């Protein structure tokens, strides 16, 4: 059953012992929404805590450290920013058929909850959560504004992407007025990377290769490079996005040597190239503009297969 | 004389042959403001064009290509986003003592114009320009919204920095409603860079230096590096922001060799360091978190002065 903001507020008002579920590999939106709900409903006298299947990255400590996390037996289960139950992760999978309320913004929501508030055009789940808190008459404290701004900013690439409409900007303004330190949050979320990452960038870019008249860019990250830079596997994450930012590049390929010596490919494309079709060459998959696959055997031979597929799609030679 | 928005509108209304000056090394804010003024005042029947001392980077073609640029003898000179006459650049320096009106947002404005509209807390000069256009009753067309959003977004790092207050977000929302394609603009401004830029990143990062217990980071960009990468001066711009993104860095310094062999410093700081005070060491200026100055004599000696000033503010040694 899909419900509106008013009905969502009513359901939350009716319950007193609430568990809020966040999705696996938690991000700023799922955590920001959950923290905001926990803080607002605690202030209304309810008992509430959030749970997650995975460890929460340290960069979100500023949200979690002031959050009361009481121990109790819940009588109402709420999921935030979770489109499907397979995103609950292993630990929370026991709740898959027990979710009472879901607040989400994914068009792909599977309506697994008894009641779902879905705002599919919202840039972040933080937007419907903000509306629900307003409907509840909750005071948007600086902490809650910080939670929600974190969700809004991280899911819209700091208001950069097409999912950030005028309404997202206006709610961003409201949250700043309510006490969110936007600059501080954005520095934490977007502007801070370890020195080792920058060393790795230098090494990787020094070895980048271009194919198909510079329409295909390849970044290769070896364990030797990681060691030389003192970098971790998580420092490799931004290279996928970087590979597509080069002017004229239609397909960015970043390949990364895992600890076991095998390689993993991340593909990013611009229209009209379909990244998931290129990844399918090696049995991988994903979305139109972002996909991935594992190397089969020799990583350079696997790379040649991907480049050939992209070249065929682009109607150009490999060199 | 400082004037308000209403008086600024009145002065523009009184004149019919207007020249708009943009600052040297033109950026999105100075160009966005100038284009918006040109379009809005042309629609009001005035004759107006913009001028610049330096070539305008190709990435701003989407602003300039639809701009009427008539040839005429001006009777009123307006400067936008220009804090001091030395920022006019060589070609426009002939106007240094002839500027009738300046619309700006730099705290460091030198009040060289006969009348100055200064909104020193605004994240971009596009904000006072937007207010003036509203005061004039100008229609904010999609083209004008695109001009102003470009200024607002580029000067606030896409609403990421502390200079982006709630008002900046609300004006961003208004401009999107008026037809600015924010996602398209932000891809152009932030997400697409030439291949030569990435080659330059590799060279610059390979030579980065850290001082003051890694609180101060220095990027040095030489003409040799630009030549090796095939990069242009405008490709140096993103390094200022990058220099502050390294974990633990409080002051990022990027120094760039100009075509004449002299060096220019760009400073970026995190609180509590005041970038404009560090830049003042060498006679420069700017904002609290972003400032600039030119080297005096040997660039490495100038650099040492800047590092020493930052070290003193941080209360730490230089090494």
Which residue is listed with tokens 């970044």?
Answer: A219
pLDDT of residue A101: 98
Select from B258, B257, B302 the least CA-distant residue to B278.
Answer: B302
Chain B residues within an 8 Å CB radius of A159: 158-159, 169, 172, 182
pLDDT of residue B234: 85
Average pLDDT (A164-169) is 96
pLDDT of residue A161: 84
pTM: 0.85
**What secondary structure, in 3-state letters, does chain A show?**
CECCHHHHHHHHHHCCEEEEECCCCCCHHHHHHHHHHHHHHHHCCCEEEEECCCCCCHHHHHHHCCCCCCCCCCCEEEEECCCCHHHCHHHHHHHCCCCCEEEECCCCCCCCCCEEEECCCCCCCHHHHHHHHHHHCCCCCHHHHHHHHHHHHHHCCCCCCCCCCHHHHHHHHHHHHCCCCHHHHHHHHHHCECHHHHHHHHHHHHCCEEECCCCEEEEEECHHHHHHHCCCHHHHCHHHHHHCCECCCCEEEEEEECCCCCEEEEEEECCCCCHHHHHHCCCCEECCCEEEEECCCCHHHHHHHHHHHHHHHHCCCCC
CB contact under 8 A, B208 and A198: yes
CB contact under 8 A, B166 and A158: no
pLDDT of residue A61: 95
Mean pLDDT over all residues of chain A? 95
Q: Which tokens in the block code for residue B195?
A: 């291949």
Q: Which of A177-186, A282-291, B77-86 shows the lowest mean pLDDT across its residues?
A: A282-291
Chain A residues within an 8 Å CB radius of B191: 160, 245
Q: Is residue A289 within 8 Å of A275, Cβ to Cβ?
A: yes
Rounded to 5 degrees, what are φ and ψ at B268? -130, 135
Average pLDDT (A19-34) is 95
Q: Which of A95-99, A105-109, B61-65, B146-150 shows the lowest mean pLDDT across its residues?
A: A105-109
Average pLDDT (A27-53) is 97
Q: Which tokens in the block code for residue A103?
A: 């607040």
pLDDT of residue A290: 83
Q: Which of A41-55, A64-78, A288-302, B205-219 shows the lowest mean pLDDT across its residues?
A: A288-302
CB contact under 8 A, A186 and B160: yes
Give the pLDDT band (50/70/90) at residue A271.
Answer: confident
Q: Rg of the Cα trace of chain A?
A: 22
Chain A residues within an 8 Å CB radius of B248: 195
Q: Which tokens in the block code for residue A164?
A: 């950030």
Distance between B44 CA and the closest CA of chain A, angstroms:
28
Neighbours of B6 (CB within 10 A): 12
**Beta strand pairing call for B47-51 and B76-80:** unpaired
Residues 6+ apart with CB under 8 A from A169: A159, B159, B169, B170, B172, B173, B176
Neighbours of B60 (CB within 10 A): 20
- Cα distances (Å, whole numbers) of residue B61 to A128, B28, B35, B64, B189: 38, 11, 11, 5, 12
Chain B residues within an 8 Å CB radius of A245: 191-193
Q: Is residue A217 within 8 Å of A249, Cβ to Cβ?
A: yes
CB contact under 8 A, B159 and A182: yes
Give the pLDDT band (50/70/90) at residue A243.
Answer: very high
pLDDT of residue B191: 85
> What distance in Å separates the CA atoms of residue B161 and residue A290, rounded to the nearest whole number?
28
Average pLDDT (A50-60) is 92
Give one DSSP letter per residue of B279-290, joined into a string. HHTTT-EE-SSE
Chains A, B: CB contacts within 8 A come to: 115
> What distance in Å separates the CA atoms of residue A16 and residue A101, rounded to the nearest whole number?
14
> What distance in Å separates the CA atoms of residue A149 and residue A109, rounded to the nearest whole number?
23
> What distance in Å separates the CA atoms of residue A250 and residue A216, rounded to the nearest whole number?
6
Average pLDDT (A234-257) is 92
pLDDT of residue B156: 96
Backbone CA torsion sign across B83, B89, B91, B97 = positive
As for the ipTM of the complex, it is 0.85
Q: Is B92 left (phi over 0), alpha (psi -120 to 50) or beta?
A: alpha
Would you give per-residue pLDDT tens digits along chain B (319 residues)? Answer: 999 999 999 999 999 999 999 999 899 999 999 999 999 999 999 999 999 999 998 899 999 999 999 999 999 999 999 999 999 999 999 999 999 999 999 998 999 999 999 999 999 999 999 999 999 999 999 999 999 999 999 999 999 988 999 999 999 999 999 999 999 999 899 888 999 999 999 999 999 999 999 999 999 999 999 999 999 998 998 899 999 999 999 999 999 999 999 999 999 999 889 999 999 999 999 889 999 999 999 999 999 999 999 999 999 877 6
pLDDT of residue A36: 98
Give one DSSP letter per residue of B139-204, joined into a string. ---HHHHHHHHHHHHHHTTTTTSTT--HHHHHHHHHHHHTT--HHHHHIIIII-B-HHHHHHHHHH
> What distance in Å separates the CA atoms of residue B215 and residue A249, rounded to the nearest whole number?
35
> What distance in Å separates the CA atoms of residue A302 and residue A307, rounded to the nearest whole number?
9
């Amino acid at each position: 059953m899909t419900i509106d903001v008013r009905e969502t507020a009513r359901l939350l008002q009716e319950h007193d012992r609430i568990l809020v579920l966040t999705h696996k590999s938690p991000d700023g939106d799922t955590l920001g929404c959950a923290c905001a709900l926990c803080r607002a409903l605690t202030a209304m006298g309810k008992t509430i805590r959030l749970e997650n299947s995975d460890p929460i990255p340290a960069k979100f400590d500023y949200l979690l450290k002031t959050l009361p996390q009481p121990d109790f037996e819940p009588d109402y289960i709420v999921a935030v920013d979770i489109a499907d139950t397979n995103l609950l992760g292993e630990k929370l999978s026991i709740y898959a058929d027990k979710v009472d309320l879901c607040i989400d913004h994914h068009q792909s929501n599977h309506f697994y909850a008894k009641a779902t508030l879905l705002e599919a055009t919202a840039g972040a789940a933080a937007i419907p959560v903000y509306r629900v808190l307003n409907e509840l008459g909750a005071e948007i404290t600086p902490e809650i504004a910080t939670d929600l701004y974190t969700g809004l900013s991280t899911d819209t690439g700091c208001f950069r992407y097409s999912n950030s409409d005028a309404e997202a900007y206006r709610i961003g303004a409201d949250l700043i007025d309510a006490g969110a330190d936007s600059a501080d949050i954005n520095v934490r979320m977007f502007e801070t990377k370890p020195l080792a990452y920058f060393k790795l960038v230098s090494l990787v870019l020094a070895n980048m290769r271009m194919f198909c008249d510079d329409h295909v860019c390849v970044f290769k990250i070896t364990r030797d490079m990681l060691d030389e830079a003192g970098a971790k596997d998580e420092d490799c994450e931004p290279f996928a996005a970087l590979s597509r930012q080069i002017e004229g590049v239609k397909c960015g390929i970043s390949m990364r040597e895992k600890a076991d010596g095998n390689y993993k490919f991340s593909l990013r494309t611009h229209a009209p190239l379909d990244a998931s079709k290129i990844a399918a060459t090696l049995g991988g998959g994903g979305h139109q503009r972002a996909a991935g696959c594992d190397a089969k055997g020799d990583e350079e031979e696997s790379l040649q297969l991907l480049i050939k597929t992209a070249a065929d799609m682009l109607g150009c030679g490999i060199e």
